[in-house]
Structure 1
Amino acid sequence: MEYLEFELPIKELEDQLQKCKVIGDESDVDVTETCKQIEKKLQETKKEIYKNLSAWQRVQLSRHPDRPYTLDHIKALCGDSFLELHGDRNVKDDKAMIGGLGKIGDQTYMFIGQQKGYNTKTRQYRNFGMSNPEGYRKALRLMKSAEKFGIPVVTLIDTPGAYPGFEAEERGQGEAIARNILEMTRLKVPIITIIIGEGASGGALGIGVGDKVLMLENTWYSVISPESCSSILWRSWEYKEQAAEALKLTAKDMKRMKLVDQIVKEPLGGAHKDREKTFLAVKDAIIKSYDELKNLSPKELVNQRIEKYSNMGVFKS
């Protein structure tokens, strides 16, 4: 288990508890009471730390290497029913953007999301979760296929941003993202969007227009990452913690500003601490959201979606 800097007090107590149990197993000394005291303090410390997380600490949790990624969620939700679809029918198959058909219960969904890697090799293969234009065009192709057959769309967002490389700009990165935003506003099937990790910039918005937008508790959603914001405003990454606070990028901030519809609760310590519980919470949120949308006509869906996004950022004096 990998611990973040602010989690070190938890690590110390867990190490103490482990040593205490070893002593009890290897000797005749009764350490039951001591172990109970350590366990009690461990639970109190966990609650105290995770109850008072700063914006930057939530950013760190959203990037935890043990955190479940898009494919982990899809496999847990759909099991063997998931059929991955490839290619944008123009340039190539973007490995940072995945999509395909899968079932939750008896209902088929089109799943689309950014996928990160688990180690150096797979991170390079997935381009660190940063999609090229063909990734967004693949996503749009799949959404249009879903619309044709009346299949609801579920998008899973987890990206540090769209790929900023020279070749991506040559192939129309900005246009691809803008096209997706336009087409998603008028897609005639329900769209459920879930931010499961990082939600940065246009890379997130390219698959982020939804009738229901949900955020896992320890995720973030912003026009720019705290590090990049810090480097622009202060010419240094040292102020990333201040930038994270100023950007108001946490799930609570987004819900308060009515930019997302629901916060999906995570297990104590983050999604990686209890993956099964996280997957179940996400599944329940998808089913509940779809139940609220499935009886709306295509016209009602589109009008409601356009009105929702038109009202964002409106200031009334």
Structure 2
Amino acid sequence: MEYLDFELPIKELEDQLDKCTVIGQESDVDVSNTCKQIEKKLEETKKKIYKNLTAWQRVQLSRHPSRPYTMDHVKALMGDTFLELFGDRGFKDDKAMIGGLGKIGGQSFMVIGQQKGYNTKTRQYRNFGMANPEGYRKALRLMKMAEKFGIPVITLVDTPGAYPGLEAEERGQGEAIARNIFEMVRLKVPVITIIIGEGASGGALGIGVGDKVFMLENTWYSVISPESCSSILWRSWEFKEQAAEALKLTSFDMKKQKLIDDIIPEPLGGAHYDRATTFKSMEKYILKAYNELKDLSTTDLLSKRMDKYSNMGEYKE
């Protein structure tokens, strides 16, 4: 297990508990009371830290290297029923964007999401979860396929942003994202969107328009990352913590501003501490949302979706 800076007190206590357990096993000394005291202190420390997380600490948790990525969720939720589909039928297959068909609770879904890598090699292979235009065009192709066969869509958002390279701009990155937003608003099947990690900028919005939008508890959703915001406003990354607070990017901020529908709770410490519980919570929210949407007529579905986004924000005419 890797520990973040603010988790070091937990690491120290867990190390103490391990040593205490080893002493009890390898000697005749009764250390059970000492171990219980350490366990109690460990539990109290965890609650104290994780119940009072700052916005920046939640950003750090959303990037934790042990956190489950899109394919982890897909395999857990869909198992052997998942069939991955490839290519945008125009340029190539983008490895940063995955998608395919599978079943959750006996119901077929088209699932689409950004995929990050687990080590240096796979991070390069997945382009760090930053999709090119062909990735968004692949996503749209799969959504249109789902619409054709009346299959609901699930999108899993986890990206530091769309790929900003010259070649991406040459192939129409902005147009691809804008086209996805335009088409997703009009998609004639239920769309359920879940932010499972980072939800940054247009890269997230390219697959982020849904009838129901959820965020896992320790995730963020914003037009810009705290580091980039800090570098623009203060000309330095040193103010990223202040930027994170000012951006109001946490799941709780998003819920308060009515930009998402609900928050999916995570186990104490984050999704990576108890993946099974996280996956069960995801399944529960997905099926509940689908049951609320499945009986709506196409007209009502599209009307509610358009009203949802039209009513966001404050403006004067």
The TM-score, its normalising length taken from structure 1, stands at: 0.99
Match of 1:170 in 2: 170
Tell me whether 1:32 sits opposite 2:32 in the alignment.
Answer: yes
Structure 1 residue 166 displacement after superposition: 0.1
Specify the code of the residue in structure 1 equivalent to 2:67: R
Match of 2:248 in 1: 248
Please list every run of at least 4 consecutive aligned residues from structure 1 whose deviation after the TM superposition is greater than 4 angstroms.
Answer: none
Structure 2 gaps, min length 5: none
Mapping 1:109-188, distance limit 5 Å: 109-188=109-188
Secondary structure at 2:238 match in 1 = helix
Deviates more, 1:267-276 or 1:306-315: 306-315
Match of 1:285 in 2: 285
Q: Deviations over 1:283-308 (max 9, x none)?
A: 10100000000000111111100000
Match of 2:106 in 1: 106
Structure 1 residue 14 displacement after superposition: 0.3
Over aligned residue pairs, what C-alpha RMSD do you find?
0.9
Match of 1:208 in 2: 208
Secondary structure at 2:13 match in 1 = helix
Structure 1 gaps, min length 5: none
Tell me whether 1:271 sits opposite 2:271 in the alignment.
Answer: yes
Match of 1:43 in 2: 43
Specify the code of the residue in structure 2 equivalent to 1:181: I
Does the Cα contact within 8 Å between 2:99 and 2:113 map onto a contact in 1?
A: yes
Structure 1 residue 314 displacement after superposition: 2.4
Identity fraction in percent: 80
Q: Deviations over 1:164-201 (max 9, x none)?
A: 00000000000000000000001000000000000000
Q: Deviations over 1:61-82 (max 9, x none)?
A: 0000000000000000000000
Match of 1:74 in 2: 74
Specify the code of the residue in structure 1 equivalent to 2:54: S
Specify the code of the residue in structure 2 equivalent to 1:226: P
Structure 1 residue 216 displacement after superposition: 0.1
Secondary structure at 1:154 match in 2 = strand
Return the alpha-carbon distance in structure 2 between the equivalents of residues 179 and 315 of structure 1. Answer: 24
Secondary structure at 1:195 match in 2 = strand
Specify the code of the residue in structure 2 equivalent to 1:307: D
Match of 2:60 in 1: 60
Structure 1 residue 315 displacement after superposition: 4.3
Return the alpha-carbon distance in structure 1 between the equivalents of residues 315 and 215 of structure 2. Answer: 24
How many aligned residue pairs are there?
317
Secondary structure at 1:102 match in 2 = strand
Specify the code of the residue in structure 2 equivalent to 1:107: Q
Match of 1:19 in 2: 19
Specify the code of the residue in structure 2 equivalent to 1:109: F
Return the alpha-carbon distance in structure 2 between the equivalents of residues 26 and 302 of structure 1. Answer: 66
Structure 1 residue 56 displacement after superposition: 0.2
Q: Deviations over 1:204-234 (max 9, x none)?
A: 0000000000000000000000000000000
Secondary structure at 1:86 match in 2 = coil
Return the alpha-carbon distance in structure 2 between the equivalents of residues 316 and 48 of structure 1. Answer: 43
Structure 1 residue 106 displacement after superposition: 1.5
